[in-house]
């Protein structure tokens, strides 16, 4: 079933929309969440995502249903990480955060977040497709260097090098725009 059909079912408040959403994107949403939390928590995040989509469509009518659901799912997983942080921090989230903090230092986070977000979006929009996909798959979807190497047909060392250069490029762009 196409996204527009699922959205139409959501708009009409037909419960079949949830089954179709799970059928089409359930595995991808669980995989996204499982990169940050346990399998059990990932399942919970995916289920909570379906409910959140149900509750927000309408009034929202997202242009890209998976991106909309993935953002919700990712935020739910990050919230779950925060809940679990008191007992034990997630090594994966800590690693990804540490990598990005190389180019976005703490003081940048206190500045206007909307402006920073726009600068990052502009930066990503200016990258060639392959580099943008690599960056997003690492820092948005949380894929490992090994997974990226396999997906792009590179050695892990090349992926690490490309990601390092992209972070440095982002750092330079943010510095140029006086965002940091």
The pLDDT tens digits of the residues spanning 133-178 come to: 999 999 888 889 999 999 999 999 999 999 999 999 999 988 888 8
Cis bond upstream, residue 9 (ω within 30)? no
Q: Given pLDDT bands bounded at 50, 70 and 90, which one contains residue 55?
A: very high
The pLDDT tens digits of the residues spanning 75-134 come to: 999 999 888 775 555 555 656 666 766 666 555 444 456 678 888 889 999 999 999 999
pTM reported for the whole predicted model: 0.73
Domain assignments of the chain as residue spans, ordered by start: 3-85, 92-176
Candidates 3.40.250.10, 3.20.20.70, 1.10.10.10, 3.40.50.2300; CATH matching 92-176: 1.10.10.10
The pLDDT tens digits of the residues spanning 62-76 come to: 999 999 999 999 999
Please, which residues have CB within 8 angstroms of residue 2's CB and are 6 or more apart in sequence? none
Q: Is the pLDDT of residue 35 over 50?
A: yes
CA angle centred on 8, ends 74 and 1, rounded to 5°: 75
What local confidence, expressed as pLDDT, does residue 24 receive? 97
What local confidence, expressed as pLDDT, does residue 111 receive? 47
What local confidence, expressed as pLDDT, does residue 104 receive? 63
What local confidence, expressed as pLDDT, does residue 118 receive? 85
Asked if the domains at 3-85 and 92-176 fall in one CATH topology, the answer is: no
Using the structure block, give the residue that is written with the tokens 């490309």.
162
Phi, psi dihedrals of residue 118, rounded to the nearest 5°: -65, -40
Q: How many residues does the chain have?
A: 180
CATH number of 3-85: 1.10.1740.10
Q: Is the pLDDT of residue 32 over 70?
A: yes
């Amino acid at each position: 079933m196409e996204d527009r059909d699922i959205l139409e079912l959501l708009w009409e408040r037909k419960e079949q929309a949830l089954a179709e959403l799970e059928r089409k994107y359930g595995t991808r949403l669980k995989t996204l969440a499982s990169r940050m939390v346990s399998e059990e928590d990932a399942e919970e995040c995916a289920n909570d995502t379906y409910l959140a989509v149900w509750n927000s469509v309408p009034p929202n009518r997202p242009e890209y249903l998976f991106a909309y659901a993935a953002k919700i799912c990712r935020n739910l997983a990050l919230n779950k990480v925060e809940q679990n942080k008191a007992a034990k921090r997630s090594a994966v989230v800590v690693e990804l955060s540490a990598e990005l903090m190389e180019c976005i230092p703490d003081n940048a986070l206190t500045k206007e977040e909307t402006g920073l977000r726009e600068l990052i979006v502009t930066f990503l929009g200016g990258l060639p497709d392959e580099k943008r996909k690599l960056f997003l798959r690492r820092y948005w979807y949380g894929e490992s260097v090994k997974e990226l190497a396999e997906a792009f047909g590179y050695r892990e060392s090349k992926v690490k090098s490309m990601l390092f250069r992209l972070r440095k490029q982002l750092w330079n762009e943010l510095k140029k725009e006086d965002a940091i």
